[in-house]
Structure 1
Amino acid sequence: MNFPKSILTLFSILFFTIVASAQTITVKDKISNEPIPGVVLYNFNKTKIVVTDIDGKASIDDFFLNELIIFQSYTYKKFESSKAILATNNNTVLMISESENLSQVVVSASKFEQSKRDIPQSIVSLSANDIAIANPQTSADALQATGNIFIQKSQLGGGSPIIRGFSTNRLLIAVDGVRMNNAIFRGGNLQNVISIDPFAIQRTEVTLGSGSVVYGSDAIGGVMSFYTKKPQLSFKDELFLKTNAVVRYSSANNEKTAHTDINLGYKKWGFLTSISYTDFDDLRMGSHGPDEYLQTQYVETINGVDTLIDNPDPQIQSPTGYNQINLMQKVHYEPADNLKFDLGLHFSTTSEYGRYDRLIRPEGTGLRSAEWNYGPQKWFMSNFSATKLSSNSSFYDKIQATVAYQNFQESRIDRTFQSDTRRTRSETVDALLFNLDLEKTLSETSSLFYGIEYLYNIVGSYGLETNINTNQSTVSISRYPDDATWQSIAAYTSYKYRPNEKFVFQSGLRYNHIVANADFTANNTFLNLPFNTSKVNAGALTGTAGIRWIPNKTIEWNFNASTAFRAPNIDDIGKVFDSEPGSVVVPNNGLNPEYAYGAELGLKLNFENVVRLDMATYYTFLDNALIRRNFTLNGQTEILYDGELSTVQAIQNASEEYIYGFEVGAEINFTKNLKLKSQYNIIGGVEEDNGIEVPVRHIAPNFGRTHLTWQFKKWNFDAFAIYNDELSFEDLAPSEINKEYLYATDENGNPYSPSWYTLNLRAQFKVSDSFEITASLENITDQRYRPYSSGISGAGRNFIFSVTYSL
């Protein structure tokens, strides 16, 4: 029986209309195919709002047939469709996880979101999901998981990143766009990054190479940008409640960790509270490796007398344990679609903890120090930002203003073996910041980013000597001149030209002016410097230019050239401290900024998304480098400091450095669920020392890691190896040779850093949508190793177990 085509068409329309009018959709994860609860569906003006249930289902009966429906979830990329289109797709929506989406979008390159494909520089990213799988103890350990960053530790409560041969105050750390670097960031290893709670991180972006155009002074070797979690709104009158809880245990240092966060979302207001607490015992090293790393003795004070104790278990590094608490409160207010306000409060504090590399420093047949501790490391930050979008402004499409206040507190407490005098040196920094950042689309092919920045730091510092028998205290020399100030004002602009999908050009300029003032009158009571004040008044113009060219689906080229600088801070011009055994650093009032000139060439090859190769080579020339060198004070090359005759040193513009390297990453997708990923880094560099070329101190040995991952239903497996090459005696920097007690001994009796590896296995099981278990067995073969320049050995065989519950 044949029906006229018009009748068939009318019947089809009628049937489709009936089906579409009573329509329930299911929202699923595109990769796991698991339902996603809590996804908010709303129309353009938010007059219609529904939320998916525990099975990922929601009724869209109230929406019109061709009305735009927006799907939004905190951890997934926003999705848009219509009721009619959804009916043709079996009423199923597949959303892309934010962890995948984040790999395609970066913020740190310009302060605003850009496609990663538009950035000529190398940027590596970690999502909250990546961090959860890596299960790191600190944010320093999370950075190490990228495979591109080397981490040095002087104690368990440490983690000093090294990127492309640069470290400490030549790298910049930013949290939610606010720079953490302050006036006393030092050239020696520092551990400020551990103040950032890994449980609170939504994503991390690491720029490999200069970031001075956007971030100014210090961003010579790279920028580590941490973006913490934001509150999620409800978009309706009902409360949106989401909670997470994590507990974790680690056997190598008997770690006990607990974390919880809670999100309260309303239509226009969102609140997020995060709390983490971690307690570490002393760290156990491995069984197989150099005997020089074993701790055979430690100091214990018994009845007021310092006594050398034979360590009953030389693999236990004592004292290294400490505890830490992290608090975060976020408030988000969105009065209109084009206007947002964000307030963030962060607080972190550690307990007092031992600086292990100083506690194992020998003297004669015993140990030099009875005490050498860092006091609690405290960090507080409050930042407020306002973001506005505009479609009719001649000056911007997006504008963001940020004001922030930070307070840093740190101290050092030490006492020589069998001495009655305990020395305490305490520091505080109050740091203010104002940023104004703007973005403007000039045409379909070009965009402009620009902004201004002002920074102000004031340093508080005092020294105290206490007799432990009488408890009487006297004022002593402080580490820094008290009430020293450091200021920076800057303006920058960046231009992006993208004529087509294959080619991108980006360039930028920044002018920075730095003013620092220090008064040594109080410390001259002890030092007798030939000057009472020191000033820095210097300007710097930096620039960058780069291209990214994608001629076809297989090949992608990128090239970037840049200049960068670092202005002397209060640590450079005013510090007094014992830098290494038998040496003391004194202030220098004649310092100028150091400048870096660098270039990077990268090549990516993609063979049908089955095999990917990512290669980059780079070269950096550091001119007028600020380094520690021997010095004279009032014509003397040695002075008595803390009871020890010490060689006088100072930070000086005394060197040129040449740093170069090659990085290669590979990814092989054997199947959709079985993948191999590997990263390897080769670094080299020399500096001039009195006309002689010597190795640069922060050049890490070649290092890498390889992961074989397999996803099977609700299981994720990761078998991985971490490895470091040897750094021979000839390749050690002169300052490292003087610390031979931290190193193994080669066949000639000289210190060197041996090669090492660890084999590791990790498994994650998703019991339900709310319940997840992660277990790891690290350093399976129980290797005894010590990363280059570190004062503490790595963990031996280590079992880690964590449970996550979300609701």
Structure 2
Amino acid sequence: MKKLFLCLLLITISAQLYAQKIQVFDQEHQSAIPGVAIFNNDKSKSGVTDFDGFVDISEFATNEILTFQHIAHQVLKLTKAEISKADNKVFMTIDANGLDEIVLSVSKFGQKKKDIPQQIVSVTSEDVLFSNPQTAADLLQSSGSVYVQKSQLGGGSPLIRGFSTNRLLIAVDGVRFNNAIFRAGNVQNVISIDPFAVENTEVILGPGSVVYGSDAIGGVMNFYTKKPKFSFEEGLSVSGNATARYATANNEKTGHFDFNIGAKEWAFLTSVTFSDFDDLRMGSNGPDDYLRNEYVETINGVDTVVQNDDPRVQVTTGYHQINTMQKIRYMPSEKWNFDLGLFYTTTSDYSRYDRLIRRKNGELRSSEWYYGPQEWISGNLQARNTAYNNSFYDESVATISYQRFKESRNDRDFGDTILFQTEEIVNAYTAAWDFEKDWRSSKFNYGVEYVFNKVNSTGEQTDITNGVSTRDVSRYPDGATWQSIAAYVSTNFKFTDKLSFQAGARYNHILVDATFDETLYDLPFTDANIDAGALTGSAGIAYNPNDLLGWRLNFGTAFRAPNIDDVGKVFDSEPGSVVVPNPDLEPEYAYNGEVGTTLNFDNIVKVDLALFYTVLKDALVRRDFELDGETEIEFQGELSNVQAIQNAARSEVYGFEAGLEVNFSKALQLTAQYNITDGFTEEENGEQTPIRHAAPQFGNGHLIYGKGKFKFDAFAIFNGQFDFQDLAPSQVSNDYLYAKDEDGNPYSPRWYTLNFGAQYQLTEALHLNATLENITDQRYQTYSSGIAAPGRNLILAASYKF
């Protein structure tokens, strides 16, 4: 027994002597760095850090010089002896050159930003901590490149380069967030994503169909949530954060906490955020058209118009929300890493404010119009394998995901006793396998993906006087399915260190199957089936001849196949109109060209410019329609004009983007962003009308000072004007959303806000934040929104890290 013990002891000592694992950290953030290359002078010995920054350097001699190289950090050289004296920990400094920023969204694996021909915008967790966005929609808007529309306080629908909603793709940790009922109108689902749980957000400006498939016409918004961290020492490590926030404009009260438990091979991260919002108060200087002068209350069973004591308060906009996330991470070896993400988000009931301010014959039209709780449940398991000696891949990621989306709509006209209700539940399943292989000076990415969505939809009408409910027309055909089957390949080839070429192709096949219940729908057809395939591709070059100048040139195609919302929806689109199903739809295709340039004057002045042009053929738009020869039908007791989603002739979208960064010193920086988008839809008769989702000119400017424990940001946000003739036909019909010009026509006025933010690091663990938004108390409404923006708003927050 003693001999056995001595043998085991000798084996253990030998392993310790001959195996020397070190860990590489980022100096600024104190976080582990994966993918660091380590090699000696003649490169005869080498290694690469794993996902937690570990690498074995046993084969290196004690006095041998090791070179540490990483695409986002400065090159570092140390001897093995020096590393041993530093407790086997190596700290690398971030490369100050922003062109070396690493992005994940374009290929699902890390790439240098300067080698990518597309325009990418990033928002980090540090940006979130400082700017304190209330929702993920506000987080996107803070980037200065994404425009956000809001129909209610619990909302936020992104617009990118003239496209929105189902022509933009949202992903969470690389998994498709869009579902089969994302509509052509404004979609508010992005608020289900908790900004406190997000580590980094990347926005691809322009098509992303090669990697992400259908819907990625105008851009891709990828939210990467925080990952659990393993213990850097023996035993368990526990860390966490807690944040409390208050805002005056809507009496917001938010509490957040997250904590991490790390062991050697296992790590756990729990995150919870709760927010409570009261009715939103608008500003005092602006159009009176936005004021909430009166609203409806049901008093003793009678709908009554009540005069608002304070017309600046947008009555019935308040709601509350809870976001939870549980992450589990397991790394049994350097080659395998498993990540499980569990998410649950829900809201209270919340009013659709823009519907509550509609009028009919001069009187308020609705007594009630509210969404039921918006729920999102998600489970996402990813298995990452690193195999550098494999002939087919160096790295692979297998993903399986389940998501459940639940939403409902409830509306009742003024004085009516019938409450109309619909409820939708979408179960979404995703399976994907992505690969990356480096070969000489090329990087190849390829993968396959399968997505299945099933839509359950019910409708009923309830008599509020006695509570009796009867079955009614559902919003969508119950049991409808949407499937996507796809395979893609892309490559990034570096001709030289200055010139890289990126190209890719994807084949995507879409299947839609919907059956209409003849007892509910009086239609000249009983089902809608789509069986369509699309081949998309992209090609572009990135040329950086020197440190001063960089060029990007990119061409790409994208597509969007009709979903269940397009082919099967029944709803009142606007006063006096009803949208009906249309089973004869075809996919729409986009053709995009983009050219961009960057100028970098010694990292003191940086300029980023881009021009883009997109043609959308067979564009899916809502237009007047005939249903079995009828142009009007009765819907919810009202004779309504018949409309449907149809393939129009074509749309064209074009625009310009400019970014500026001036570093006066290490402490003082100026940044600015400016965007202009325009375009039109051409009808079959040749008539051209403005496109609906092109935002007015917009942008921001920030003057940031940071030194020691203080950071200050004086910033302005501005927005151009849309005159009456600039509005799309659908927006002219929704004139209640807009101010009135001198002729009584709807228009969207220009506006600006002046703002100031400050952060103070009281201790290493405690940060205090204060932001005063809209200092001049402007009363304004972002384009196409149904709710006025906050007036003067003081936001106070405290964050504690343990």
Normalised by the length of structure 1, the TM-score is 0.90
Q: 2:604 aligns with which of 599, 610, 618?
A: 610
CA distance in 1, matches of 2:65, 2:317: 58
Q: Do residues 149 (structure 1) and 146 (structure 2) align?
A: yes
Q: Do residues 668 (structure 1) and 662 (structure 2) align?
A: yes
CA spacing shift, 1:449–1:687, aligned 2, 3 Å: same
Give 1:366 deviation, angstroms. 2.1
CA distance in 2, matches of 1:539, 1:655: 20
User: What residue is the counterpart of 2:448 in the other structure?
Assistant: 452
Report the residue type matching 2:248 in the other structure.
S
User: What residue is the counterpart of 1:347 in the other structure?
Assistant: 344
Give 1:391 deviation, angstroms. 2.0
Q: Deviations over 1:607-665 (max 9, x none)?
A: 11111110000000000001100001121111111111111000001231000000000
Q: Do residues 734 (structure 1) and 733 (structure 2) align?
A: no
User: What residue is the counterpart of 2:573 in the other structure?
Assistant: 579
User: What residue is the counterpart of 1:700 in the other structure?
Assistant: 695
Q: Deviations over 1:516-551 (max 9, x none)?
A: 00001x2x3343110001100000000000000011
CA spacing shift, 1:762–1:77, aligned 2, 3 Å: farther
Q: 1:500 aligns with which of 496, 501, 506?
A: 496
Q: Do residues 477 (structure 1) and 482 (structure 2) align?
A: no
CA distance in 1, matches of 2:603, 2:98: 17
Q: Per the alignment, in what secondary structure is the counterpart of residue 140 of structure 2?
A: helix
Q: Do residues 212 (structure 1) and 209 (structure 2) align?
A: yes
CA spacing shift, 1:638–1:442, aligned 2, 3 Å: same
CA distance in 1, matches of 2:89, 2:456: 60
User: What residue is the counterpart of 1:635 in the other structure?
Assistant: 629
Q: Do residues 794 (structure 1) and 789 (structure 2) align?
A: yes
- Are 2:500 and 2:542, in contact at CA under 8 Å, matched by a contact in 1? yes
CA spacing shift, 1:711–1:644, aligned 2, 3 Å: same
CA spacing shift, 1:39–1:600, aligned 2, 3 Å: closer
Report the residue type matching 1:659 in the other structure.
V
- Are 2:705 and 2:712, in contact at CA under 8 Å, matched by a contact in 1? yes
CA spacing shift, 1:185–1:755, aligned 2, 3 Å: same
User: What residue is the counterpart of 2:535 in the other structure?
Assistant: 541
CA distance in 1, matches of 2:287, 2:409: 30
Q: Do residues 531 (structure 1) and 531 (structure 2) align?
A: no
- Are 1:154 and 1:790, in contact at CA under 8 Å, matched by a contact in 2? yes
CA RMSD of aligned residues (A): 2.9
Give 1:77 deviation, angstroms. 10
Q: 1:509 aligns with which of 473, 481, 505?
A: 505
CA distance in 2, matches of 1:510, 1:544: 9
User: What residue is the counterpart of 2:775 in the other structure?
Assistant: 780
CA distance in 1, matches of 2:82, 2:553: 42
- Are 1:437 and 1:450, in contact at CA under 8 Å, matched by a contact in 2? yes
Q: Deviations over 1:360-407 (max 9, x none)?
A: 111223210000001100001101111111122111111110000000
Q: 2:137 aligns with which of 135, 140, 145?
A: 140
Report the residue type matching 1:535 in the other structure.
N
CA distance in 1, matches of 2:578, 2:154: 24
Give 1:133 deviation, angstroms. 1.1
For 1:712-727, list aligned pairs within 5 A.
712-727=707-722
Report the residue type matching 2:658 in the other structure.
V
Worse overlay, 231-240 or 150-159: 231-240
- Are 1:462 and 1:482, in contact at CA under 8 Å, matched by a contact in 2? yes
Give 1:87 deviation, angstroms. 11
Report the residue type matching 2:652 in the other structure.
Y
- Are 1:513 and 1:537, in contact at CA under 8 Å, matched by a contact in 2? yes
- Are 1:322 and 1:351, in contact at CA under 8 Å, matched by a contact in 2? yes
- Are 1:67 and 1:82, in contact at CA under 8 Å, matched by a contact in 2? yes
Q: 1:319 aligns with which of 297, 316, 319?
A: 316
Give 1:585 deviation, angstroms. 0.3
For 1:288-367, list aligned pairs within 5 A.
288-367=285-364
Q: 2:750 aligns with which of 749, 755, 759?
A: 755
Report the residue type matching 1:462 in the other structure.
T
CA spacing shift, 1:203–1:69, aligned 2, 3 Å: farther
Give 1:36 deviation, angstroms. 5.6
Give 1:164 deviation, angstroms. 0.2
Once the two structures are aligned, what percentage of the paired residues are identical? Answer: 56
CA distance in 1, matches of 2:310, 2:742: 27
Q: Do residues 413 (structure 1) and 410 (structure 2) align?
A: yes
- Are 1:439 and 1:448, in contact at CA under 8 Å, matched by a contact in 2? yes
CA distance in 2, matches of 1:763, 1:563: 43
Q: Per the alignment, in what secondary structure is the counterpart of residue 494 of structure 2?
A: strand
Give 1:498 deviation, angstroms. 0.4
CA distance in 2, matches of 1:375, 1:68: 63
CA spacing shift, 1:99–1:743, aligned 2, 3 Å: farther
Q: Do residues 198 (structure 1) and 191 (structure 2) align?
A: no
Q: Per the alignment, in what secondary structure is the counterpart of residue 525 of structure 1?
A: coil
- Are 1:710 and 1:717, in contact at CA under 8 Å, matched by a contact in 2? yes
User: What residue is the counterpart of 2:462 in the other structure?
Assistant: 466
Q: Deviations over 1:63-90 (max 9, x none)?
A: 9954899999xx999988446557999x
Give 1:739 deviation, angstroms. 1.3
Q: Do residues 277 (structure 1) and 284 (structure 2) align?
A: no
- Are 1:626 and 1:655, in contact at CA under 8 Å, matched by a contact in 2? no
- Are 2:25 and 2:32, in contact at CA under 8 Å, matched by a contact in 1? no
- Are 1:494 and 1:506, in contact at CA under 8 Å, matched by a contact in 2? yes
Q: Do residues 374 (structure 1) and 368 (structure 2) align?
A: no
- Are 1:677 and 1:708, in contact at CA under 8 Å, matched by a contact in 2? yes
CA distance in 1, matches of 2:203, 2:601: 26
Give 1:237 deviation, angstroms. 3.2
Number of residues of Structure 1 aligned to a counterpart in Structure 2: 762
Q: Per the alignment, in what secondary structure is the counterpart of residue 736 of structure 2?
A: helix
CA distance in 2, matches of 1:657, 1:39: 45
Q: 1:250 aligns with which of 247, 251, 255?
A: 247
Report the residue type matching 1:331 in the other structure.
I
CA spacing shift, 1:681–1:437, aligned 2, 3 Å: same
- Are 2:658 and 2:675, in contact at CA under 8 Å, matched by a contact in 1? yes
